[in-house]
Amino acid sequence: MAEEAPFIRVRGLEQKFGSQHVLRGVDLEVRRGETLVLLGGSGGGKSVLVKHFPGLLRPWKGTVEIDGEDISGLDERQLAPYRKKVGIMFQNGALFDSMTVGENIAFPLREAGVKDRKEIASRISEALEIVRLPGQEKKMPSELSGGMRKRVALARAVVGRPDCVLYDEPHAGLDPITADSIDHLIKDLQKEQGITNVVITHEMRSVFHIADRIVFLQEGRVYWTGGPEELRTTTDPVLKPFIEGDSGEAWN
């Protein structure tokens, strides 16, 4: 039986900004239905890499395939159906403070041209149920805790029913208990909705909770790929200091 094609496939990806060579020939596959965690030091290229998946950046060299199709040379109109397949949860949540929770979640639907009020209301309710925040449509972001704001941001990422969600530091600014709740949501989306997750994080404790596979980027290249247990027991001189630089909770 042939192995299922990956949802995302990156080949020879290079990216430059002026004289800064950020990605230097990245080869990467994200399997359907997995949670892949991207690790690496600041400036290693993680966020730049992920921005290529929904076509927010175009490769300088190389290719990016989404669901079997090369999107590298597509224009904005041609990218639209592929962007629907990929939701994004930004680092700070990026909620509009002047909008209600419901209006924030509905934003990508309206941008995509959905106009039916009943459908929008139904999709908002569905997304809030998924992130365990039912009935919060009328609240303003200022009334929410940091963890609740993250959940609303996640609801906005999944309201379009994507196949894949990208998370940029979803644990940033959260206490350990709230971070754990986000981890549970990430895994629930994978198990219950069949969503493919790509997570950028520095929280090693969360890495061992959520990752099926881990990719470590260094200086714009894939330095290491493996599973959580392989990372936990590594003696690699590059990986080990990076892991042990955490608070130590990663090993519990």
List of the chain residues with pLDDT < 70: 1-3, 92-93, 246-252
φ, ψ for residue 118 (rounded to 5)?
-65, -40
Residue 235 has what pLDDT? 93
Q: How far apart are CA 50 and CA 105, in angstroms?
A: 22
Both tokens of 91, joined, read 């680092």
Enumerate the β-bridge partners of residue 36.
198, 213
> Structure pTM?
0.91
Residue 252 has what pLDDT? 33
Both tokens of 31, joined, read 């399997």
Residue 2 has what pLDDT? 53
91 closest CA partner among 50, 61, 54, 127: 50
Residue 244 has what pLDDT? 81
Residue recorded with tokens 């995302």: 8
Calculate what percentage of the chain has a pLDDT beyond 70: 95
Residue 93 has what pLDDT? 64
All domains in the chain, ordered by first residue? 1-83+209-252 (3.40.50.300)
Q: How far apart are CA 58 and CA 49, in angstroms?
A: 10
